Amino acid sequence: MRYAIIETNSGYVWWWGGDAEDALGACYAADDEVGPRPVAGHYEEISAHEARTTEGAYDVREVPDGFDLTDGTDRYEIARVEALPRAGFFRFVEDDAA
């Protein structure tokens, strides 16, 4: 399955077209492509309400074959992604230091 991720702070589509097994896997695939986070942690699914109050949540959308994007900051292209089926909201949680 292909996915796109809207970062909720900026509202921009910052990763798209990536293949992943599921929406949670898309979060990790995006980090692998963009660069790892500077701290250890994991993603967890959150509610739409939590996504509105959580800084930096990921709004993961399912991307159909043939869908393409050229500018994740363009309002028209963001609206196209927002119209896609939502796969879930996720946030990064830092692991507790042992």
| Confidence band, pLDDT 50/70/90 cuts, at residue 98 | very low
* 54 phi, psi to nearest 5 deg: -105, 125
| pLDDT tens, position by position, 40-87 | 899 999 999 888 887 789 999 999 999 999 999 999 999 999 999 999
Contact 87, 26 (CB under 8 A): yes
- Cα pseudo-dihedral 88, 7, 93, 17, rounded to 10: 60
Contact 53, 16 (CB under 8 A): no
Residue 35, SS3?
coil
Q: Please give the single-letter amino acid code of residue 26.
A: A
pTM: 0.90
Domain boundaries, the chain: 2-94
Question: Are β-strands 13-19 and 2-7 bridged in parallel, bridged antiparallel, or unpaired?
Answer: antiparallel
What confidence score (pLDDT) does residue 81 get?
97
Q: Which of 13-17, 37-41, 60-64 has the highest mean pLDDT?
A: 60-64
Q: What percent of the chain has pLDDT over 90?
A: 68
CA distance 54 to 45: 12
